[in-house]
Structure 1
Amino acid sequence: MGMSDLSGLKLETNTDSDIFQKDVSEVFSTKYLLDKHVSVGLDSTYVLLLDYNASKDTIAGALSNGNVSLYTSDLVKKESFKVHEDSITGLQFSPTEPNLFYTSSMDMEVKLWDLRIGGSQGPVKRFYDSSAKNPGGFHKPLTSFSVNASERFLTAGTEQVRGESFLLFWDSRSEELLGGYWNTHIDDITTLKYHTSDPNKLASGSVDGVVNVYDISQPTEDEALIEATNTESSVQKIKWFNKESEDSLAIITHTEDVYLWRVSDSCPAQIFKRDQITNLGLRRSSVESAYVVDVHPSLDNPLFFLCGSRCPNNSCLRVSYPKKSKLKPYSDLKSSKIRNELVRCSIMNESTGDIVTGNESGIIAKWSTADKGENNSCDNDAVSAKMSGSSKSSRKFKPY
Structure 2
Amino acid sequence: MDDIIDKEELDKDTDEPTIIEQLFQRNYNLLTQTAVTLKKSYVNKLDGTSSLKIAVGVADNNSVEVFDLKKTSLSLICRLSGHEKSLTEVVFSQNDDQLLYTTGHDGLIKLWDLRAGGSCAQEYKDDDDEQIVKPFECVDVSCNGRVLCAGSQLVQDDAYLVFWDQRKPKPLGGYWNSHTDDITQIKFHKEKTEIITTGAMDGLLNVFNILEQTEDEALTFSLNVENSIEKISWLDATQVACTTQSNDFQIWNSETGDMIRSFSRDKVAKSIKRSKGDDCYLVDAYTSVDDTPVLLAGSHGENGDVLRSVTVAGKKLQPCSNFTQNKQTVRCCWYNKERDMLVTAGESGLVSVWSATDGTGPETAVNSKITGAIKNLRVNRHKPY
Shared fold (TM-score, shorter chain, > 0.5): yes
Q: Give the counterpart letter for 2:310 in structure 1.
A: S
1:288 to 278, 291, 304: 278
For 2:25, give the aligned amino acid: S
Unaligned runs of 5+ in 2: 368-379
8 Å contact from structure 2 (residues 181, 201) kept in 1: yes
Aligned pairs, how many?
364
Aligned-partner Cα distance in 1 for 2:302–2:82 = 33
In the aligned structure 1, how far is the partner of 2:91 from the partner of 2:230?
A: 17
2:135 pairs with 1:141: yes
Give the distance between the partners of 2:287 and 2:129, measured in 1 at CA.
39
Q: 1:85, CA displacement in angstroms?
A: 2.5
Match for 2:155: what amino acid? V
Q: 1 CA distance for matches of 2:58 and 2:43?
A: 5
Contact 1:213 1:226 survives alignment (8 Å):
yes
**Distance of 1:372 and 1:104 partners within structure 2:** 40
Structure 2 residue identity aligned to 1:52 = G
Q: 1:305 to 1:326 in 2, by over 3 A?
A: same
Q: What CA distance in whole angstroms lies between the structure 2 residues aligned with 1:227 and 1:216?
A: 13
Equivalence for 1:159: 153
Give CA-to-partner distance per residue, 1:189-229, whole Å, 9 cap, x none.
Answer: 00001111111001100000001010101000000001121
Match of 1:116 in 2: 115
CA distance 1:13–1:301, change in 2 (3 Å)? farther
Structure 2 CA distance for partners of 1:352 and 1:97, relative to 1, 3 Å: closer
Residue aligned with 2:155, SS: coil
The alignment's C-alpha RMSD in Å is 2.5
* CA-CA distance at 1:75 after TM superposition: 1.4
CA contact (8 A) 1:181 1:221 kept: yes
Q: Distance in 1 between matches of 2:200 and 2:156?
A: 16
Q: What is the CA distance between 1:315 and its match in structure 2? A: 3.5
Q: Give, in whole Å, the separation in 2 of the partners of 1:27 and 1:201.
A: 38
Cα distance in 2 for residues equivalent to 1:111 and 1:315: 34
Give the Cα–Cα distance (whole angstroms) in 2 for the partners of residues 18 and 316 of structure 1: 10
Instruction: Tell me whether 64-73 or 177-186 shows the greater mean CA deviation.
Output: 64-73
SS in 1 for 2:11: coil
Deviations 1:210-249 (A, max 9, x none): 010101010000000011210110000111122xxx5110
- Name the counterpart of 1:302: 292
Q: Alignment partner for residue 262 of structure 1, among 253, 262, 267? A: 253
Matches within 5 A, 1:57-206: 57-64=52-59, 65-73=61-69, 74-119=73-118, 122-133=119-130, 137-206=131-200
**What is the CA-CA distance between 1:263 and the residue it aligns to?**
1.3
Structure of higher RCO (CA pairs closer than 8 Å, 6+ residues apart): 1
Task: Name which of 348, 360, 365 aligns with 1:361.
Answer: 348
CA contact (8 A) 1:35 1:373 kept: no
1:3 paired residue number: none
